[in-house]
Structure 1
Amino acid sequence: MGLLKHLERDFPIIDSDFQRFCASHGILSDCFDFTQFHLILALAIYPHAVEDFLFHDLYVLAAFAEAQSTSERLKQGITQVLTIIDGQHQTWFNGMELLENHQRRKRVLRTGCVGLDLLLEGGLCQGQLTELVGPSSSGKTQVCLQAASNVAKDIGGVVFIDTGNSVSPKRIVHLVNNILDPTPGEAKNRMFERIMRCILCHSVFNIFSLFNVLHELEANLRLQSEEARVQLIIIDSISSLITPILGSGSHGHALMISVGILLKKLANEYDIAVLVTNHMVGRDGGTLKPALGDSWKSIPNVRLLLSRVSGDNKCSMSIIKHPSVCARKQKMR
């Protein structure tokens, strides 16, 4: 379903007549095409477009609307946009609410990677966005597949968003079989089927497809039962979707920030652990740094660096950023 269909379905009052009315008054016109972006997405992506609307004298705008044959509908559209903008505001929390929020999310999801779980004092924390950074062939996808298999076994409900054809059914089968190795025959077959059914895979190859999948997922999360709850969302890799759009300047950076905000919203509101991977790029002097730049690095709650140990088959995992665990390094097999 295209993004325009989402717009028509969710906000029928924001029709083509309203769009033309806004454009004729310089609102959401220079940066925004309603045929390309969902209204909510546009308001999150383009803060200057929101300013266009908010800094307009709404009494004057309403007076212009009054002169139109569809005045009542246009005024309803203005009210709808203001309601959406108001919904984008962050809620203020007092210290006690923050403490209760933290205590409510004590659950961590074991990844099955012993070194990683030790490093994180248990595993991936629900309600947080964790970023796994590493150079090519460092083992990022293997960690993602291991985490997906283990969470599906322990709890269930994993959404794996694959952006580079990295999901191999054979690798998942191998990992699941390793997890179930001590389990006897028929019981093992039943558990194997249950685990495999709990891992839902989506292939996306551009940022707009990702937004579509995430918005559809959000709609489904509102209706999910406790037994079928999504516990973990994995995107391998987020950087392969974002890097191509960064060349478009401020619009690309705004899209990047918007997808980060949406992922953190899903994590926060539905107590989901979100794991994304990011690659490394060169910096001056020949050293490597995480891709996506300074604008992105403040988005993840947790940043982990995965690297290969030179001349060894082992990996090394380091904490770059964590709200409650001190920076340290752990070797992994």
Structure 2
Amino acid sequence: MAPLKSLEQEYPLIDSSFQAFCASHDIFSVEDFILHDIDVLIAFADKLSASRRLKQGINQLLSIIDALHQPLLNGLDLLQDVKRNKHVLSTGCQGIDALLGGGLREGQLTELVGPSSSGKTQVCLKSASTVAKMHMSSVVYLDTGNSFSPQRIAHFVGQSSGSVFNNQTDRGPLQKVLDSIICYSVFDIFQMFDVLHQLEINLRSEMLKSDHQVRLLIVDSISSLITPILGGSGPQGHALMISAGFLLKKLAHEQNLAVLVTNHMVGGDSGTSKPALGESWKSVPHIRLLLSRDWQSNICNFFILKHPSMASGRAASCTL
């Protein structure tokens, strides 16, 4: 749920005074507000000189919560929603597109799993450049390890255009692509929550739809944000991990985004490697792809680990 502070710009009644009133009752987010006794809150507001405006703020929050409730849909409604709103976006990687029936589907969370240097970031960069160029859409890219490379974007755009950008006169296509990729440097999970909550607000108010609609959200890598919080004996880290997965899937479904995240490998039993983040995370992505690279041929291989409509074990390959 969104922190109250993130609502201030869109909803003037949720100002600093209202936030201070809520904070005095340990309410810092919409979720805290839902869990609080609203009648008790209104009774406290009645005792204050600014009671009228405080109660208007309470009503504003209640209306925001009502707007978040999605109508119940039957199977036919869901099928029509998929056909009408959940399109497939090419990644620019022929092997992945062929394996997934065209590419990344809007409304779904796709995870790329692989060891270091297997090509996960390259797939992210190529997908970002392809969606920005082919679909004339905006891409939100959360970079957790300073791995976003405009030079690689230029290389991929040049490949698809059959040209090399050497001077200022031929940079038109590249400039349009780079302008369409909104990159955030994010170094902990709380920063990611802030960015995603703000993105949700912006998409709902169509602030980012003035030029190009946002259609792809990339987090490279989700595991580098979550792994540090999983240590210790308490449940907080696990709860934050599940909340992160829920928010990403919620954005994908409600805002018709294709969401692409990367996850590294860790040592497992008997010396074999396995995806990080454990069994609880395993159920979060709709699709999981395992990447490996043959360094002699520089060919990347992709295997389906999980897919809602395709058999596990299907494979494809391509050169990045």
- TM-score over 0.5 (shorter chain): yes
Q: Is the 8 A contact 2:150 2:178 kept in 1?
A: no
- Separation in structure 2 between the aligned mates of residue 16 and residue 50 of structure 1, nearest angstrom: 13
Q: Is the 8 A contact 2:113 2:291 kept in 1?
A: yes
Q: Is the 8 A contact 2:142 2:219 kept in 1?
A: yes
Does residue 208 of structure 1 match 2:212? no
What are the Cα deviations for residues 229-269 of structure 1, in whole angstroms up to 9, with x where unaligned? 11211111111111112226322222222222222222222
CA displacement at 1:63 relative to structure 2: 9.3
What are the Cα deviations for residues 4-45 of structure 1, in whole angstroms up to 9, with x where unaligned? 74265543475333433x35xxxx6xxxxx3xxxx03xx2xx
Q: Is the 8 A contact 2:110 2:288 kept in 1?
A: yes
Does residue 233 of structure 1 match 2:217? yes
What are the Cα deviations for residues 96-116 of structure 1, in whole angstroms up to 9, with x where unaligned? 111111211452111111111
Q: Which residue of 1 aligns with 2:249?
A: 264
Q: Is the 8 A contact 2:215 2:257 kept in 1?
A: yes
Does residue 142 of structure 1 match 2:142? no
CA displacement at 1:183 relative to structure 2: 9.3
Q: Choose from 156, 162, 175 the match for 1:181.
A: 162
CA displacement at 1:120 relative to structure 2: 0.6
Q: Which residue of 1 aligns with 2:99?
A: 119
User: Structure 2 counterpart of 1:305, which letter?
Assistant: L
- Separation in structure 2 between the aligned mates of residue 135 and residue 171 of structure 1, nearest angstrom: 20
Question: Cα RMSD over matched residues?
Answer: 3.2
User: Structure 1 counterpart of 2:230, which letter?
Assistant: L
What are the Cα deviations for residues 252-304 of structure 1, in whole angstroms up to 9, with x where unaligned? 22222222222222222222211111111122222122111222222222111
Q: Which residue of 1 aligns with 2:201?
A: 219
Cα distance change, pair 196–6 in 1 and its aligned pair in 2 (3 A): closer
Q: Which residue of 2 aligns with 1:167?
A: 148
SS at match of 1:15: helix
Does residue 151 of structure 1 match 2:127? no
User: Structure 1 counterpart of 2:228, which letter?
Assistant: P
What are the Cα deviations for residues 115-159 of structure 1, in whole angstroms up to 9, with x where unaligned? 111101111111211111111111100111111111111013122
SS at match of 2:92: coil
Q: Is the 8 A contact 1:8 1:15 kept in 2?
A: no
CA displacement at 1:162 relative to structure 2: 0.7
Q: Which residue of 2 aligns with 1:331?
A: 317
Q: Is the 8 A contact 1:105 1:125 kept in 2?
A: no
Cα distance change, pair 87–287 in 1 and its aligned pair in 2 (3 A): farther
Where in structure 2 are the equivalents of 1:2-41 lying within 5 Å?
5-6=5-6, 9=9, 10=11, 11-12=14-15, 14-20=18-24, 22-23=25-26, 34=28, 39-40=29-30
- Separation in structure 2 between the aligned mates of residue 232 and residue 99 of structure 1, nearest angstrom: 21
Q: Choose from 110, 113, 117 the match for 1:133.
A: 113
Q: Which residue of 2 aligns with 1:103?
A: 83
CA displacement at 1:217 relative to structure 2: 2.2
Give TM-score, length-normalised by structure 2.
Answer: 0.81
Q: Which residue of 2 aligns with 1:31?
A: none
Cα distance change, pair 108–16 in 1 and its aligned pair in 2 (3 A): same
Identity fraction in percent = 51
- Separation in structure 1 between the aligned mates of residue 277 and residue 84 of structure 2, nearest angstrom: 32
Structure 2's unaligned 5+ residue stretches are none
User: Structure 2 counterpart of 1:132, which letter?
Assistant: L
Q: Is the 8 A contact 2:6 2:198 kept in 1?
A: no
Larger displacement relative to structure 2 (272-281 or 246-255): 246-255
Q: Is the 8 A contact 1:109 1:151 kept in 2?
A: yes
CA displacement at 1:163 relative to structure 2: 0.6
- Separation in structure 2 between the aligned mates of residue 68 and residue 307 of structure 1, nearest angstrom: 64
Q: Is the 8 A contact 1:162 1:201 kept in 2?
A: yes
CA displacement at 1:310 relative to structure 2: 7.2
Q: Is the 8 A contact 1:134 1:306 kept in 2?
A: yes
Aligned pair count? 306
